[in-house]
Amino acid sequence: MNASVATLAETGEAQDQETRHQRLPSPVALRETLPLETGLQTRIRQQRQAVRAILNGEDDRLLVITGPCSLHDPESALEYGQRLAGLAEQVSDSLLLVMRAYVEKPRTTVGWKGLLYDPHLDGRHDLATGLRLSRELLRDLARLGLPLATELLNPLAASYLSDLLAWAAIGARTTESQIHREMVSGLPLPVGFKNGTDGSVTVARDAMGAAAHGHTHLGLDDHGHPALVQTPGNADTHLVLRGGHQGPNYQEEQVLAARNALESAGLNPRLVVDCSHANSGKDPARQPLVLEEVLRQRRQGDSTVVGVMLESHLNGGNQPLSESLRYGVSVTDACLSWADTEARLLQLARG
């Protein structure tokens, strides 16, 4: 018995505390409250197709997934979205801009878990409001005409949001999870598996192979009832290189090694490079350097990297959660400012 278990047992605390449950609306109920108009459903299907075309090498534009590390404030998220939607039109000949709209955050240990779980940012965990606010915000962003990207962290949360997405990520901490691979096998959208936090590309390669298969698994139906779920398999997955504990993994030889590993497993060799996280050492000033290297590889004719991810907000840097938050500044990882992001993307579009 380890020390903390012994302490809980000795004090009797473990026996006194009970796990509590509070009912939430089902995915169907929330979708009925916040429905998608037919025109928007059609547009999202087209956006998924546009992302697929890049990932399959049929469109040589660069896929750029950019936006805050996490959305914590609808007002600043919408302002970012409006600016990005304007820029997306200007650069659409060479770049497909997708907004990072992350409402769930995986944590290394503990920390704020995202708008969906704690929308008031105060530890009250008003999940009912978080689900509604997240769906409403993502729908408002989608109505700007932007394709949306998010990390799907809790498979139960995915059914509340997945109809709004053009692309989803499975994070470095969950790529190895069978539950996440099963979920992806049932999603009708392109999904990127991050390499593991230790830098392992193998877990993402295995995840792609597993998600391509149909699965039968235990889950919930859209009404929230326990269900035997049978999935068709998802052929539209790819690798996202995000660096690892040993450092970055976006250099030419690492991209080539990843490509070979994917090709020899019969999987899509085209991949996305996350310019943030362990590829930037979480220093936003390093994201443009990663972007530069990706461009260099593309300019010399290597078409392996077809997309990039940037963490970017209205204002640069980040801030701890407090009662007096600065507007448009990340409360999780540090971001590039909008001004820097816009300048880099315009430069990219000029070639």
Ligand X SMILES: O=C[C@H](O)[C@H](O)COP(=O)(O)O
Ligand Y SMILES: C=C(OP(=O)(O)O)C(=O)O
What's the rounded Cα separation, in Å, for the pair 257 and 253? Answer: 6
- Shortest distance, CB of residue 108 to ligand Y, whole angstroms? 9
Beta carbons of 29 and 238 less than 8 angstroms apart: no
Q: Does 245 interact with ligand X (rule: CB under 6 A)?
A: no
Beta carbons of 296 and 35 less than 8 angstroms apart: no
Beta carbons of 84 and 66 less than 8 angstroms apart: yes
Q: Which residue has the tokens 């889950």?
A: 219
What's the rounded Cα separation, in Å, for the pair 290 and 250? Answer: 7
Q: Which of 25, 74, 106, 209 binds ligand X (CB under 6 A)?
A: 106
For 214, which DSSP code?
A: -
Binding mask 289-328 for ligand Y (x = CB under 6 A): ----------------------------------------
107 binds, among ligand X, ligand Y, none (CB under 5 to 8 A by kind): ligand X
For 91, which DSSP code?
A: T
Q: Which of 62, 172, 308, 348 binds ligand Y (CB under 6 A)?
A: 172
Pick the piece of the chain touching ligand X (CB under 6 A) from 3-11, 106-114, 246-254, 302-310.
106-114
**Site residues for ligand X, window 329-348 (CB under 6 A)?**
332-333
Number of residues that bind ligand Y (CB under 6 A): 11
Locate 116 and state its tokens.
């969906």
Quote the strand ranges of 125-215, DSSP E. Answer: 148-151, 167-170, 191-194
- Shortest distance, CB of residue 102 to ligand X, whole angstroms? 8
Q: Which is nearer to ligand X, 231 or 279 (CB)?
A: 279
Phi, psi of 187 (to 5 degrees): -95, 135
Binding mask 68-97 for ligand X (x = CB under 6 A): -x----------------------------
What's the rounded Cα separation, in Å, for the pair 214 and 310? Answer: 32
Q: Which residue has the tokens 């689900």?
A: 131
Pick the piece of the chain touching ligand Y (CB under 6 A) from 138-146, 171-179, 208-216, 285-293.
171-179
Which amino acid type is present at position 59? D
Phi, psi of 235 (to 5 degrees): -85, -10
Q: Does 106 interact with ligand Y (rule: CB under 6 A)?
A: yes
**Site residues for ligand X, window 110-139 (CB under 6 A)?**
111
Contact residues toward ligand X (CB under 6 A) are 69, 105-108, 111, 277, 332-333
> What residues line the site for ligand Y (CB under 6 A)?
69, 102, 106, 151, 171-173, 194, 242, 274, 277
